[in-house]
Amino acid sequence: MVLKNLIGTAVFVALMFTFSAFVYKNKTVESHPKTPVEYKGFAVLELFTSEGCSSCPPADQLMGEIEKQYKDQPVYILAYHVDYWNNLGWKDKFSSVENSQRQQYYSKTLSSQVYTPQLVVNGKKEFVGSDRNSIENAIETALLNSKNIPIHLSAKISGKEINVNYKSEEKNSQNKLLITLVEKKSSTNVQKGENEGRHLQHWQIVHQQNQISLKNSSEGIMSFRLPENFNTNDWDIIGMVQNVKTGEILGSAKAF
């Protein structure tokens, strides 16, 4: 009987100790609330993708999720649909030779292969476009550490054009200002090729991109042709300053 009482007392004491430790731990956490992170940098994500590539839909989907996840942060996504898949069964209506040339440029500055889906962050690091962990880590690092050269953009529709007023404090002759017209979301029913029969969703699709030298002037006006059925709610205008030699993006901003 004595042994039984001793065992019961020991169990009770152990339970009380566990409960006390639990309460103390919770009080400690509550007394040190987590403060929100203040981001001073930015992250530009450039995805090279194609409707003809069966590995690309997961990367496209991830861009939609990241767009939603970081909607209140300076994270800018540009999806470049390349044209070198067009002869393999399906022509991507969003593709262009300029987008493919943009990827070739990065293959030189980053000493990387050309493949899809490929994603480049701030012109400095490249990953497989569906590698969520690497991409999110790169975004957090960029938001905390990158310095954002100020860019001022404003846009106005005039006739069949979109006129963009730009101004930057950067005047380095090796840097250019890239201003891009981006469609926020669209989709395609693919009828041939590797993705035959699939309904593909796309986010932040690059339609037009102009490069402006900052050597002689850091402010001015440039124009885009107005897309069919244009609605300001469905489009973004994104500007970024890039060092032409290294490929590093030094600042970014959005007009719409």
Percent of the chain with pLDDT over 90: 77
Residue 26 in this model has a pLDDT that exceeds 50:
no
Q: Find the mean pLDDT for residues 27-43.
A: 56
Percentage of the chain with pLDDT > 70? 85
Give the three-state DSSP class for 76: strand
**pLDDT score of 58 more than 50:** yes
> 86 falls in which pLDDT band (50, 70, 90)?
very high
Is residue 113 a contact partner of residue 43, using CB atoms and an 8 Å limit?
Answer: no
Whether 249 shows a pLDDT value over 60: the answer reads: yes
Q: Which domains does the chain show, CATH number per domain? A: 43-254 (2.60.40.10)
The alpha carbons of the chain give a radius of gyration, in whole angstroms, of 25
pLDDT at 173: 82
Cβ neighbors of 4 (< 8 A, separation 6 or more) are none
Residue 41 DSSP class? S
Q: What is the pLDDT of residue 6?
A: 39
pTM as predicted: 0.84
Mean pLDDT of all residues in 80-109? 98
Residue 18, pLDDT > 50, answer no
- The rounded distance, in Å, linking the Cα atoms of 45 and 117 is 12
- The per-residue pLDDT for 39 is 72
Residue 39 neighbours by CB under 8 Å, 6+ apart: 73, 74, 143, 144
Q: How much is the mean pLDDT over the chain?
A: 87
Between 253 and 31, the higher pLDDT residue: 253
Average of per-residue pLDDT across 168-187: 92
CA dihedral 137, 129, 60, 86 (to 10 degrees): 160
Once rounded to an integer, what is the mean pLDDT over residues 24-29? 36
Largest CA distance in the chain: 97
Query: Per-residue pLDDT for 253 more than 90?
Result: yes
241, 227, 113: which is closest to 168 by C-alpha?
A: 241
Check residue 17 and give its pLDDT: 40
Checking if the pLDDT of 96 tops 80, the result is yes
Mean pLDDT, residues 215-220 taken together: 86
Residue 54 has pLDDT above 80, yes or no: yes
Average pLDDT over residues 138-158: 94
C-alpha torsion 49→235→240→167, nearest 10? 160
Q: Which residue has the tokens 């300001």?
A: 232
- 106-127 pLDDT tens trace: 999 999 999 999 999 999 999 9
